[in-house]
Each structure stands twice: as C-alpha cells, then as structure tokens.
C-alpha cells in the first residue's frame, strides 16, 4: 500500500530586516550633561563657579583650579576653525557606511578647543580669502546622533537656504523634507495646522488620520485638496483599525506624529463617574500604546534604509504632564501616563536609531480651552514648533510662554509648583 505524501507544515515567515548600525554611544554620567542640553536644543559646557573657566571635555573637577563647583552653562559656540581633515577609513561600522566624513578642530572664543563634525558648507581653513588662516569663523552646536547621544557640529556662520540638506546634518536630524509622515488626527485645528506646516516643509507624502470617516469632512476639506495629502481612516480607540492601517502604510512611514487627544476640563470631584477620564485615557494613553505596538516595529524595521529610512516619532503631550493642573486634573493624569509610556517607547526605539520627540505645550487656543484665559498657544505656532523640532533633531520641546514658565518653575522646585497649582496659580 502506497502511503500518501504529506507536506511538512509551513513555518510562519519571519520578517527579517537589516539592523541599524549606530554610532558609538557609550558616555559617562558627567558627559551626559551635554546630551541633556542637546535634547532640548542647547549647546552647554561646564563652567567653574570659582575661576570661571569653561572646560571641555566634561570632568568631575575644574581642570584649572580643581574646584568641584561646576555648572552647565549655555554657550554661543562662536569660534575659529584651526584645521580640517576628511575621514576616508573607519573601523566603526556606522562611519564606514557614511564615508567620507569631515572633521575640524575649533578653538571656541570661550576658551576650549574641540574636535567637531563639520557641515559641508564650512569652508576650508583660509578659503575665506583672509591671510590669517585662523580667521575661518564657525559656530559650534550640539545635536543628537542616531544613538541619542550628543555630538558637536561646526556650522558656517552664514549658511545657505539649503543647509538642512547636508548629508551629515540629515543623519543628526529628522527634517520632514522629502519624507513620508503620518498625522494621526486631521480633524482638529492642531492637526490641520500640522499638515500645512509639513507640506510647506517639503514632506513628500502626508497621511492624515480621521476617525468616524462616515461623518462630513468639515475642516478636512481644505487640507485634503493638497496633492501631498492622503486621508486614511484611523480611530485610536479601535485596535483593529490601527492594525489594518499599519499593515497598509506602516512599511512606508518615515515619521509618526501622534496628535490625537481628548481633553476634558474636570478634576476628581467636579464630575461624577469615570466616563470622561476613561475617554481621555483611551485616546491619550491607550491610543498611544496601540499605535506604538503596531507602527513601532514597522519604523524600527525601516530605520536602516539610508536617507529614505524611518527617522522619528512625535508625541503631543502637555506641560500638565509635569505637574497636575487640578482644574484639568484627569487630563493631566492621562498626559502624565502618556509621558511615562513615551519614555519607554523612546528607550525601545533608540537601538534602531528612531528619535522620539515629546511636545509639552501649555494651553492651546482650541475648542478644549475656550474658558482658559490668555495667553494661549496658536495651533499654527505649535505646528511650526514641531516641524522645527524635527529639523533640529531635539527630543523635548516646550512651546509657548506658559509652557516655558511652568518648566522653569518645575525645574526650580516641583513641590512649590504643586502647591501653587493647588492654590489656583497658573
């Protein structure tokens, strides 16, 4: 009797992607002070309180007087380019894939001499026509590399309008120019302002999510007419809808901007029940979680695709996430939860070279904040701040006067700010 041939069971296909080679990332705790400032767009160095010496590299004590009284202070970065070289060989995999790579030696006006990466528009020493070879002026700034660590870059004092297109600088930033972006909620004023700002910044494609597509488009009519814009159904409360959209466009998205939120002006005792708080958590926290679970792996899988690879994730949070604002207590709690989740997402995305940007605005001039007194942040201003954050390659931004003031008070003393807010201060 001949036995029938039985095909062996098929194994589930395994998605194989090339892992991103990251630049060297190891830093000591002291050196992370430069990274902390660069994450918010500042270039800071240690300054000695006793002798006023500005020093680099970072140390535990002042190299001149051995004082331990060192503070991080923002620097202008102005200096003279002393010498340049071009790297044509490297044993490091990250730089080997990106050769040639320009480096320069810069003497800062503040004192230290630094080795920096050089922007392509920085002239060679002496090319400015001045006989003094040390007269080539540059401006040093700090940027976060693909490993999330600070690196120093020498910029020309007067660059062209296309400085952001520099190959080296695009490695350090997430400029939306030529990239494909998903904006999760296009029905809000902020979402529509974001779409316009991204199109003006040169985005190649902007997918715009909208829940309940059976409703009239309303404010989406104007932006849907833009040739770069494609509307897609997206309801962050529906896990299946998020999964289906990720399957459709997840392998194409370079930047995810999660601006979807629900905002109710209630504390604990101002409204009975938990319905409003659940609605806020379902979008502000669980919506982010659903989105991250579906689109996170897709972005990580595309991070090594060169100049067309995935690059960034943006979360619209709130300055209320830092310290609860009781009149908006449940909203504040949902944004605090989202902040904690976003920090986890940042840690998981960093090995793939994906930057997670958190946005902490104060009250926005939208439907949710009609009863809030001025000043309020205009949606266009917020959208432009997010595009600038992508271009600058930072991690955390606090747009608007209110957010900047809260941040300063929170850093000075979180407990005092808590008491001020509980007493009705804003």
Domain boundaries, the chain: 32-172, 180-422
CA distance 406 to 414: 10
Q: What is the DSSP letter of 302?
A: T
**Cβ proximity of 296 and 251 under 8 Å:** no
CATH number belonging to domain 180-422:
3.40.50.720
Q: What's this model's pTM, rounded to 2 decimal places?
A: 0.88
User: Which residues partner with 315 through β-bridges?
Assistant: 258, 358
- Pairing mode of beta strands 150-156, 113-118: parallel
Res 134: pLDDT: 45
Res 12: pLDDT: 38
Res 161: pLDDT: 74
Question: Where is 283: in which H helix or E strand?
Answer: helix 275-284
CA distance 60 to 246: 47
108-119 tens-digit pLDDT: 999 999 999 999
Which value, to the nearest 10 degrees, does the dihedral of the CA atoms of residues 215, 216, 221, 223 take? -20
Integer CA distances (angstroms), 206 to 45, 71, 174, 331, 382, in order: 39, 43, 15, 28, 18
**Cβ proximity of 338 and 322 under 8 Å:** no
* Closest CA relative to residue 240, chosen from 206, 290, 282, 176: 290
Q: What is the DSSP letter of 372?
A: S
The three state secondary structure string of 186-237 is CCCHHHHHHHHHHHHCCCCEEEEEECCCCCCCCCHHHHHCCCCEEEEECCCC
User: Which residues partner with 180 through β-bridges?
Assistant: 205
For the residues of 71-139, what is the DSSP string, one character each?
EEEE---EEEEEEEEEE---SSHHHHTT-SEEEEEEEETTS-EEEEEE-TTSPPTTTTS-S-GGG-EEE
Per the listing, tokens 């540059």 go with: 138
Measured over the CA atoms of residue 370, residue 372, residue 376 and residue 377, the dihedral's sign is negative
User: Which residues partner with 71 through β-bridges?
Assistant: 47
For the residues of 147-162, what is the DSSP string, one character each?
TS-EEEEEEESS--TT
* Closest CA relative to residue 141, chosen from 129, 157, 128, 153: 153
Residues of the chain with pLDDT under 50: 1-16, 129-134, 425-426
CA distance 100 to 96: 8
* Closest CA relative to residue 357, chosen from 391, 307, 320: 391
Res 128: pLDDT: 54
Res 271: pLDDT: 77
Cis preceding linkage at 265, omega within 30:
no
Res 10: pLDDT: 41
């Amino acid at each position: 009797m001949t036995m029938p041939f039985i095909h062996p069971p098929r194994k589930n296909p395994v998605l194989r992607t090339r892992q991103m080679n990251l630049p060297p990332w190891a830093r000591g705790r002291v050196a992370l002070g430069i990274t902390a400032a660069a994450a918010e767009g500042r270039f800071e160095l240690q300054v000695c309180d006793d002798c006023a010496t500005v020093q680099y590299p970072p140390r535990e004590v002042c190299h001149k007087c051995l004082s331990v009284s060192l503070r991080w202070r923002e620097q202008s970065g102005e200096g003279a380019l002393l010498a340049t070289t071009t790297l044509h060989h490297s044993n490091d995999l990250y730089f080997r894939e990106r050769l040639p790579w320009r480096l320069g030696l810069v003497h800062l006006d503040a004192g230290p001499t630094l080795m920096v990466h050089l922007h392509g528009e920085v002239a060679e020493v002496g090319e400015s026509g001045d006989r003094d070879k040390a007269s080539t002026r540059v401006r040093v700034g700090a940027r976060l590399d693909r490993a999330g660590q600070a690196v120093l870059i020498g910029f020309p004092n007067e660059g062209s309008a296309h400085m952001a297109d520099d190959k080296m600088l695009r490695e350090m930033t997430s400029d939306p120019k030529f990239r494909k972006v998903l904006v999760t909620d296009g029905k809000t004023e902020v979402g529509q302002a974001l779409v316009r700002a991204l199109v003006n910044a040169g985005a190649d494609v902007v997918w715009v999510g909208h829940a309940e597509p059976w409703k009239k488009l309303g404010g989406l009519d104007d932006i849907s007419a833009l040739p770069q814009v494609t509307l897609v159904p997206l309801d962050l409360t529906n896990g299946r809808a998020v999964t289906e959209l990720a399957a459709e466009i997840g392998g194409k998205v370079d930047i995810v901007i999660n601006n979807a939120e629900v905002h109710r002006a209630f504390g604990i005792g101002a409204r009975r029940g938990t319905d409003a708080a659940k609605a806020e958590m379902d979008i502000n926290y669980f919506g982010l979680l659903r989105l991250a679970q579906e689109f996170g792996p897709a972005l990580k899988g595309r991070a090594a695709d060169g100049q067309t690879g995935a690059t960034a994730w943006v979360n619209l949070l709130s300055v209320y996430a830092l310290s609860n604002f009781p009149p908006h207590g449940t909203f504040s709690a949902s944004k605090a939860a989202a902040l904690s989740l976003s920090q986890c997402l940042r840690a998981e995305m960093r090995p793939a070279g994906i930057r997670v940007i958190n946005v902490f605005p104060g009250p926005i001039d939208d439907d949710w904040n009609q009863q809030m007194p001025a000043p309020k942040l205009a949606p266009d201003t917020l959208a432009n701040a997010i595009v600038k954050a992508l271009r600058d390659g930072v991690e955390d931004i606090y747009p608007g006067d209110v957010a900047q003031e809260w941040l300063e008070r929170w850093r000075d003393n979180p407990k005092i700010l808590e008491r001020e807010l509980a007493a009705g201060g804003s």
